[in-house]
């Protein structure tokens, strides 16, 4: 009976890729991700490149210029030539102009604008030059004043008769220049009471000052000062007394080698500018002030002849 059993045939249907869960979507997703990466990369490049680089990229992808001219002039041996215009050069010059890079055009400016900018540059250069000259002049002048001060103090120390007079000498720097002051000390005055004539110690100091002052080119301002006490003579006040003392100091300097044209001014201040403002009656307020002025040196008399 076994031979009468029916034969059963099974057909197995194989579905590749798992049906609707196959791998085709992966390819589509990969293409999408690739496109997005390319898009964001393009956005990043556009944002980071300069206008010149963008122009260069655009020129790179631009199609090459193609000449619309025919070969030659259409006749026998009608080829093109680069250097000669005419029938034989048809299209050659235009091709060169199209393929060659464009020459940047020079931006023309108005003559007035160019002149103003040139003048501005010249003014800046002039200001810088003047500042440098002023600084160099100030440094040279300061060095000269320092050497003059050292020389004067050394001259006083080298002479025994002047060493004791060093307390009468005060040297300082002011806005006007280097100031040398011959100051009275308690019990040791430079002028006798009420007299315009200097005593021996004042004359020696003035002579020592003259030897140093004559080495420098600066002009000189001399002023005489007294204390606030009245002179005691109604016809001869401290104004006349201080003026006469300053003029006599000028005369002594002149007699010891200082040229006359070096003197800028000689004045008497009486007690109007006390050295010790808290006590205008102190003997130290009686003094002769000699200032080497900060200004252009005096030109020699023969200059300009």
- Contact 287/181 with Cβ under 8 angstroms? yes
What does pLDDT average to over the chain?
A: 75
When pLDDT is cut at 50, 70 and 90, the band that residue 263 belongs to is very high
Summarize the confidence of residues 96-107 as an average pLDDT. Answer: 51
Q: Per-residue pLDDT tens for 144-177? A: 777 777 777 776 677 666 667 777 888 888 888 8
What domains sit in the chain, N to C, each tagged with a CATH number?
139-293 (3.30.1330.60)
**Rounded CA separation 226/235 (Å):** 16
Asked if residue 304 has pLDDT above 60, the reply is no
Q: What is the pLDDT of residue 126?
A: 58
What's the CA gap between 167 and 160, in Å, rounded? 14
- Alpha carbon distance 188, 186 (integer Å): 6
> pTM of the entire structure?
0.52
* 3-state DSSP assignment of residue 104: coil
Report, as an integer, the average pLDDT of 119-134. 65
Mean pLDDT over 112-127 rounds to: 63
pLDDT grade for 16, boundaries at 50, 70 and 90: low
On whether the CB atoms of residues 221 and 168 are closer than 8 A, the answer is: no
Mean pLDDT on 36-50: 84
225 membership: H or E segment, kind and range? strand 220-225
Lowest average pLDDT, out of 159-173, 198-212, 228-242, goes to 159-173
Q: What is the pLDDT of residue 96?
A: 47
């Amino acid at each position: 009976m076994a031979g009468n059993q029916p034969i059963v045939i099974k057909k197995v249907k194989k579905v590749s890729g798992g049906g609707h869960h196959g791998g085709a979507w992966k390819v589509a997703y990969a293409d999408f991700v690739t496109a997005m990466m390319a898009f964001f990369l393009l956005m990043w490049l556009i944002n980071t490149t300069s206008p010149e680089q963008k122009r260069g990229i655009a020129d790179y992808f631009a199609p090459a210029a193609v000449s619309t001219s025919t070969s030659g002039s259409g006749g026998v041996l009608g080829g093109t030539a680069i250097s000669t215009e005419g029938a034989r050069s048809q299209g050659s010059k235009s091709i060169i102009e199209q393929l060659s890079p464009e020459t940047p055009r020079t931006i023309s400016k108005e003559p007035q604008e160019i002149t103003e900018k040139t003048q501005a540059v010249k003014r800046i250069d002039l200001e810088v030059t003047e500042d440098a000259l002023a600084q160099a002049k100030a440094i040279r002048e300061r060095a000269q004043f320092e050497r003059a001060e050292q020389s004067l103090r050394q001259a006083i120390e080298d002479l025994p008769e002047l060493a004791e007079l060093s307390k009468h000498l005060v040297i300082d720097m002011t806005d006007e220049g280097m100031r040398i002051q011959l100051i009275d000390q308690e019990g040791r005055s430079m002028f006798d009471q009420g007299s315009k004539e200097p005593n021996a110690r004042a004359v020696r100091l003035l002579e020592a000052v003259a030897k140093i002052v004559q080495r420098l080119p600066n002009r000189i301002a001399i002023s005489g000062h007294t204390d606030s006490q009245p002179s005691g003579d109604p016809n001869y006040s401290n104004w006349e007394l201080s003026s006469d003392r300053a003029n006599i100091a000028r005369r002594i300097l002149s007699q010891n080698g200082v040229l006359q044209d070096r003197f800028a001014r000689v004045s008497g201040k009486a007690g109007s500018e006390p050295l010790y403002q808290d006590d205008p009656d102190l003997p130290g307020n009686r003094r002769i002030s000699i200032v080497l002025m900060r200004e252009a040196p005096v030109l020699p008399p023969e200059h300009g002849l």
